[in-house]
Amino acid sequence: MDVTHEDRAAITEVLHLHGHLCDAGELDRLDEVFTPDVVHDLSGLGRPPLRGVAACARAARELGAGNPVGHHVTNVVLTALGDGLVGARSKGIGVGADGTCASVTYEDTLVRGADGWRIRRRAVVPRGVPLGG
C-alpha cells in the first residue's frame, strides 16, 4: 500500500486535530482522532497505558490543570506498514500554564475506517524533562 497525497493530508489533519481538541477541552470529540479501542502508551511518562478513547478523555479530565495549555505537533513522517496501516512519527511540543515547554515524539499507528483515518496506537516518548517533571 502506498500512502497517497490524499491519505497524507487526512492523516496529518487527524494528528493536528488532537492538539486542538485537547487545548479546547473538547475531549468528547477524541473519537475523531482515536479508534474506540486505542492503546495510548504513556509508559515513557511513568504512567500506565490507557485503553480506549473514553479512558483517554477521562485521564485528561483527571489531570486537569496539569495538562499542557498548548499541544503542538510538527515534523510528521508517514510510512506504509502493510495491512492498511500507516505509521506516523511526529514531534510534539507541550506548553505548560507556567510557560515551561517539553518535547515528545509521538509514535502512532493509524487505520482507515468508515469515518476516515484514526490513531489505533500511540506511544508518547519524552525528549528531556516532561512538563511538571
Tens of pLDDT, residue by residue over 65-121, are 888 999 999 999 999 999 999 999 999 999 999 999 999 999 999 999 999 999 999
**Structural domain count, the chain:** 1
In three-state secondary structure terms, 68 is coil
Quote the domain boundaries for residue 66.
Answer: 5-127
Q: pLDDT per residue over 37-74, tens digit each?
A: 999 999 998 899 999 999 999 999 998 888 899 999 99
Evaluate whether residue 132 is within a structural domain: no
Binned at pLDDT 50, 70 and 90, residue 131 comes out as: low
Whether 132 shows a pLDDT value over 80: the answer reads: no
Evaluate whether residue 99 is within a structural domain: yes
Q: Nearest CA to 38 among 54, 20, 51, 28?
A: 51
Evaluate whether residue 53 is within a structural domain: yes
Q: Which three cell numbers stand for residue 102?
A: 517539553
CA distance 126 to 130: 6
CA distance 123 to 133: 19
In the chain, DSSP assigns E strands to: 34-41, 50-51, 70-82, 85-95, 101-113, 116-127
Query: For position 60, which CATH number holds?
Result: 3.10.450.50
Evaluate whether residue 119 is within a structural domain: yes
Evaluate whether residue 50 is within a structural domain: yes
Evaluate whether residue 133 is within a structural domain: no
User: Residue 32: what are its φ and ψ, rounded to 5°?
Assistant: -85, -10
Contact 91, 75 (CB under 8 A): yes
Evaluate whether residue 92 is within a structural domain: yes
